[in-house]
Amino acid sequence: MKRFVMLCTALSLLFTVNTAAYRQRVGDIDNNRAVNEKDAALLLRSVLSEEKIAPLYTFDVYDVDGNGEKDTQDAVAILNNSFTERKHQVVPVDSVRAAKMDSFIEYIFTLEDGDPSNGSAWNTEGTSAFKWSYINGCIASAFIRLYEATGNEKYKSYADNYMYGFINEDGSFKSGVTNGKNVVNPAKFALDDINSGKSMLEFIAYKSEHSEAYKAFLTDVLHNTVIDGYNALRTSEGNYFHKATYPCQVWLDGTYMVMPFLMQYEYDINKGEGADMVSDDVTKQFRTVYEKLRDKDTGLYYHGYCSYNDPKSKDYNENKKYNWASYNTKNPGCSQCVWLRGQAWYAMALIDTIELMEEGENKATLIEIYKELMDSILNYQNENGMWRQVIDGEAASENYFETSGTAGIAYALMKGYNLNLLSEKYYNAGLKAFNSVVDNKLSSSVKNGKTVYTLKDICQMAGLDDKGRDGSYTYYTSRTVNISNDAKGIAPLLLAYSEVLKHDQ
């Protein structure tokens, strides 16, 4: 009798519910990236046979009743839609690594009390300063992505309260914020200062209690002062200077700091009124990076470019050349090496901007650039899943497997799959990279009775100038500092984990 009831219920739903409704009740069971009658039939067959759902079904088949198994009882509950959000449990495929990551996240909360005026434990560049920094924005954005993947309000609230700690109710900087004055000083404008604004836009979208303060800060400070001021700080090709003090220099880092912000601000604050113009500008800047910084032989990108040193640029000036941009004969005006985290910044900038763009020619252009970059990067992935500090450099101990760049690329690869832009091959490559970081770079130990986590092999910083940061192989492998538990490594790893969770759901 019980089986007969189950059969009637399942058949009734199968023939009376339209395909769109299966998205919530059934999911993409056969992993063909579509939710359709075939998925419903597979789930129905499982119900009728009273067999456990096979491990292949990793998309939207849930352990609804929380008994630790995905079985026919869950199938019936899903078909009947007889579960609530509280009962609806998502069990990641890789529970061991997920448990390690969840514990690491909890440990991060113990490192930082949530008050930025006390300094940022994850910012090893200046832990004691109450500093406005792109690094804090990286962490805040990562926690927002985790919130979206898990629904855990703790992640969103923590990041929201932390970022609000920098500003007053009227949107001005609180007194004591290091670099606060420089943010609005035209002589000190820097793309790095834009990055933290991205998380504030997210908080507005989620109707934070601090939304009005964020709007005032974003509008008055970051957009109407810094972004508007940057219109006078462009190369002849139209790209923003990385900093006002670095005229005619374009770095891969800067694409991540500003391009997604421009698109998101336009839609969230300006309601899309100038979306076409912003989209054109953003795409043009990405195209210039593609044309100027990309090595045509490898498909990889040099860290930086200076148009003063490029004979093909209208900015070319013998008297203003920089030494660090004078050594590359293949790409005139570019630095010498392909720095791993530079590739990650650029890859993350592309996929985050693509996600925000409306369908059209500009989005198609960026997708093409993004896919080509992913293919090029995969050519250099080591068997262990990671990439080296100088991505195409020697297989030597000094050219170590670096954490932040590997995690950032893992995020970009897996997000591309989750957005239906890439095939599963790319997701698997990103997952392999993520797993390798978790297995080989994230460790725990017990100190004074407490579990302590260490995420190691993070390049602290790398820049370009004529004062020692010459962009050489030796500079990246020997003269940059290798550190642990810095946000430039933590944030990309959390971002990558959020994509794992989204896939597992």
Of the two residues 57 and 457, the one the predictor is more confident about is 457
* Structure confidence by residue, pLDDT tens digits, 196-243: 999 999 999 999 999 999 999 999 999 999 999 999 999 999 999 999
Q: What is the pLDDT of residue 63?
A: 58
pLDDT band at 119 (very low <50, low <70, confident <90, very high): confident
165-207: per-residue pLDDT in tens? 999 999 999 999 999 999 999 999 999 999 999 999 999 999 9
Residues sharing a CB contact under 8 Å with residue 284, sequence separation 6 or more, in sequence order: 238
Give the pLDDT of residue 430: 98
| Contact residues for 39 (Cβ-Cβ < 8 A; gap 6+) | 22, 26, 27, 28, 29, 30
Residues 65-92: pLDDT tens digits? Answer: 556 565 666 666 666 655 544 344 444 5
Report the top-level CATH class of 95-504.
mainly alpha
Q: Is the model more confident about 174 or about 34?
A: 174
Helices (H), 112-169: 134-150, 153-164
Q: What is the mean pLDDT of the chain?
A: 87
Residue 25: band (very low, low, confident or very high) from pLDDT cuts 50, 70, 90:
very low
pLDDT at residue 89, as a whole number? 44
Rounded Cα distance between 304 and 318, Å, is: 18
What whole-number distance in Å separates Cα of residue 467 and Cα of residue 274? 41
Q: What's the confidence (pLDDT) of residue 86?
A: 36
Alpha-helical segments (H) within 245-274? 252-268
The Cα–Cα gap between 322 and 159 comes to 39
- List Cβ neighbours of 47 (8 Å cut-off, separation of 6 or more): 6, 7, 10, 72, 75, 76, 79
pLDDT score recorded for residue 70:
59
Residue 2 pLDDT more than 80?
A: no
Count of C-beta atoms within a 10 Å radius of residue 469: 18
Looking at the predicted structure, is the pLDDT value of residue 6 above 80? no
Residue 21's pLDDT is: 37
Residue pair 330/295 in contact by the 8 Å Cβ criterion: yes
pLDDT > 90 in the chain, percent: 75
What's phi and psi for 401, nearest 5 deg?
-75, 115
Q: Where are the domains of the chain?
A: 2-80, 95-504
DSSP-derived pairing of the beta strands 304-306 and 249-251: antiparallel
Q: Band of the pLDDT at 111, cuts 50, 70, 90? A: confident
One-letter amino acid of 466: D
pLDDT of 504: 77
Most confident region among 1-10, 41-50, 393-402 by mean pLDDT:
393-402
Q: Distance between CA atoms of 236 and 196, rounded to whole angstroms?
A: 28
